[in-house]
Structure 1
Amino acid sequence: MPQDGAPQNGAPGDGAADWALRPATLEDVEEIAFAELELFPDEAWNVFQLAEEIAHPTRRYVIAADGAGARGALIGYAGIMLAGDLADLHTIGTRRPGEGVGRALLAWCETQALAGGAQRMLLEVREDNARARAVYTAAGYREIDRRRGYYRIRGRQVDALVMARELTAEE
């Protein structure tokens, strides 16, 4: 799992610039909101919702940014809610799929969940999002439930798959 501010590399041979993770701040809200609109236009959170999330004491949000200093352009973000021995992945998105950004964001969230006392992580993923489902399955998440019609995308309803994984300190 990469440390905060540690540079990451893109996929071999892809010419991608280094990138790094760092905790999100209120200064990041506007850029995250733009990414939300780009990545999730039908269900994007607004700047006020994002600011409330980032400022909330039981939430942990992270940014993936171009450049080793982690102050470059936002390429991904994620956030969790802590609730006792349970953590809930609220959001995760990447503008550079296939480069490991999403996996690094997820690992950061799991580390934060463990540090906050969580023993289990829950998440919801759109049934039709094969890429995200594959990442979560590879990370050890298993489907435990289905929420019918949970997402409303361009006039149609899409089920959410609820996935969970036990977290251990050895990770």
Structure 2
Amino acid sequence: MPPISAVTVGGPAPEPGTPWALRRARPEDLGPIAEAELALFPGEAWSPAQLAEEIAHPSRDYVVAAEGEDAAGPLLGYAGIMVAGDVADLHTIGTLRPGVGIGRALLRWCEEVAVVRRAERMLLEVREDNDRARTFYTRAGYVEIGRRPGYYRLPDRTVDALVMERRLRA
């Protein structure tokens, strides 16, 4: 695995002829990530202050997918984890161009970083009504291990969170 600060060239181009890559999130990514949060998670998006704290926190690892071989172009996606002891928590993952491998690359980066940081398993919460995300995580090897009733508080209702886990080491 390359060092976790390295740029990793991504897979299929989001647009024909447009390369993309992953790199560690930087403070200047805050604006584009906050905009993406609002677009992807209306009613439950993290505030810019929360995102800034997450990106700067020493026990968090955030990655962005962006256009260009150096990942210097427009934001295509982002993800972040927290590692505590032998457990990693996937805090967030979002892609602005689903279906081209960005989400898989972001999740794989998070898992690799978690292993480097000595995590043995990754946990995440996913909305019960988000069939696409549930399928994505199941295909990636995650299994449901619990439920958090009313975890997501939307303006008009609450939605349960399904807690999922994947072993990262045998």
Please, what TM-score do these two structures have when normalized by structure 2?
A: 0.92
1:42-57 pair list within 5 angstroms: 42-57=43-58
Aligned to 2:10: 8
TM superposition outliers: structure 1 runs of 4+ over 3 Å: 1-4
Q: Report the Cα offset of residue 32 of structure 1.
A: 0.5
- Equivalent pair of 1:127/1:159 in contact (CA under 8 Å): yes
Q: Cα RMSD over matched residues?
A: 1.9
CA displacement at 1:16 relative to structure 2: 6.2
Q: Following TM superposition, by how much is the alpha carbon of 1:134 offset from its aligned partner in structure 2, in angstroms? A: 1.1
104-113 or 150-159, which moves further after superposition? 150-159
Distance change (3 Å), C-alpha of 1:133 and 1:85: same
Q: May I ask how many residue pairs the two structures share in their alignment?
A: 168
Question: Does residue 118 of structure 1 match 2:119?
Answer: yes
Q: For each residue in 1:53-111, what CA deviation from the matched residue of structure 2 results, as whole angstroms up to 9, or x when unmatched?
A: 11111000000001111010001000001100000000000001111111110000001
Checking the alignment, whether the CA contact within 8 Å between 1:127 and 1:158 is kept in structure 2 is yes
Asked if 1:17 corresponds to 2:29, the answer is no
Distance, in Å, in 1 between the alignment partners of 2:62 and 2:32 is 13
Give yes or no for contact 1:88–1:123 (8 Å, CA) kept in 2.
yes
Contact 1:9 1:17 in 2 (8 A): no
1:9 maps to a residue whose letter is G
Aligned partners of 1:16, 1:155: CA distance in 2, in Å?
A: 42
Q: How many Å separate the matches in 2 of 1:121 and 1:153?
A: 26
> How far apart, in 2, do the equivalents of 1:101 and 1:127 lie?
22
Secondary structure of the residue aligned to 2:70 is coil
Does the Cα contact within 8 Å between 2:123 and 2:163 map onto a contact in 1?
A: yes
User: CA separation of 1:2/1:17 partners in 2, compared to 1, >3 Å: closer, same or farther?
Assistant: farther
Residues of 2 paired with 1:125 and 1:150: CA distance?
10
Cα distance in 2 for partners of 1:112, 1:83 equals 13
Instruction: Give runs of aligned pairs for residues 7-156 of structure 1, distance below 5 A.
Output: 7-10=9-12, 15=16, 17-156=18-157
CA distance in 1, matches of 2:2, 2:97: 17
Give, in whole Å, the separation in 2 of the partners of 1:42 and 1:28: 21
What is the aligned-residue identity percentage? 64
